[in-house]
Structure 1
Amino acid sequence: MIKAIIVDDEFNAIKNLKWEIERFCGDVKVLDTFTDPVEAISAINYLKPDCVFLDIEMPEMDGFEMLNTLKYRSFDLIITSAYDNYAIKAFRQHAMDYLLKPVDSDDLIEAIDRIRANKQKNVLGSELKGLFEEWREEGEKRLALPMAGKTLYVDRNDILYCKSDGNYTEVFFENGGKEVFSKRLKELEDLLGQGFFRVHNSYLARLNAIKEFVNHDGQYLVLCDGTNVPVSRSKKGELLQMLNG
């Protein structure tokens, strides 16, 4: 549905255009009509139409003055005028079309077709942008881990914790699996980034996998699968600050 507003100081011109729209453009809904451009300004800013049919020569304020007063301009503009000498200025205002009065039905249909195509293009652009954002976020969550003779692609949220083993790192997953990463723990810490914390010189834990912090019989974490991970004294304060927000 294309939501439209008509602004014209001649009541008969509004009546005729509205009749043409209702007869030939079934997916266009006229939200309101105005003979006073000052009143139209408030309505356009509030109603945020998809399209505005605008006359140029009006007594209190001409159409171009009205356009320059608007706060909301994210609509397709169709100029309706009895004169053709405003065309260049109209297209400088990014008018979608310029219809001479009395408005011809074929010209009106063609103008609405342009608006329909422009609206579809904007919807498609928004959908593609959203899709690219999803792909980007998915790419940020997934991690390429070089293992012995292979590269493992994993979701960060599948990793519970990591344990240093000299020049290698053991990676433990929520599903109970384990893989050996062929780099030091510090390199994996840099790859994982936010959401993981170096709780011990030899351990890196996923923060939202932590179920409990135990402060007796040695300091350690209990993860969501029941695994205990030691916490060094030097990391305790910073860790608790992160967990407590």
Structure 2
Amino acid sequence: MNIKTIIIDDEPKAIAILKNKIARFCPELDIVATIEKPQDAFDTINELKPDLVFIDIAMPGMSGFEVLKQFSIPNFEIIFATAFDQYALDAIKHCAIGYLVKPIDNEDLVEAVDNATRNITDKNALEKNKILIENLGIQKFQKKKIVIPSTEGLEFVKVKTITHCEGVDGYTKIHFIDSKPILSSHSIGHFKKLLDHKDFYHVHKSYIINMIFVERYLNDGYVVLEGNTSIPVSRAKRTDFLNQLKG
């Protein structure tokens, strides 16, 4: 399977290094263009219609995010390459699109390309990239979407619909206010990172709750969510949790 690929980076040396690594470790990628001026990316991508785009984030004149915002319906897979932008990494993680930290590690490159190849094959790139573009324009965390790998495939859900996450034997059951739970193969630790925001609180080793659904706190150490769901709060976290409720 030949994957049409474009590299966008304002540094010629970075492009050369990535091309060399791709030739050595990812021969299935067919590099059809390299772009040093991000302002040229839109026209080139529309003309060549790549399957995969490697794009730097911090570039003069136009960031990688600004390049992507030009596409109302992106239909290519994206792998970001960045040296430092932690906000960008967080945004990318929230929609499960690949990223590489410079200097690029060979194993990380192979893993990112493998993931991108699966997404292209499964035709998930369009939906996931739409979520990325939406998330970049959203300031409030509750309005964002996240991608949840489940036992049946990939689920695209709005953060504001999640009431709580429940760790179950190394898996995580995600509960919603308006639909049936989803069982994910990821551990509760994965969702602690994914939902790292003041609106979510890790009340117990097996539970993360969405604070907007809290209705009351019981003296015996349970918090009650909308729908009359009781969740235990660990003794070690009760004082801090109560402070969060007051604040």
TM-score, normalisation: structure 1: 0.47
Structure having the higher Rg: 1
TM-score, normalisation: structure 2: 0.47
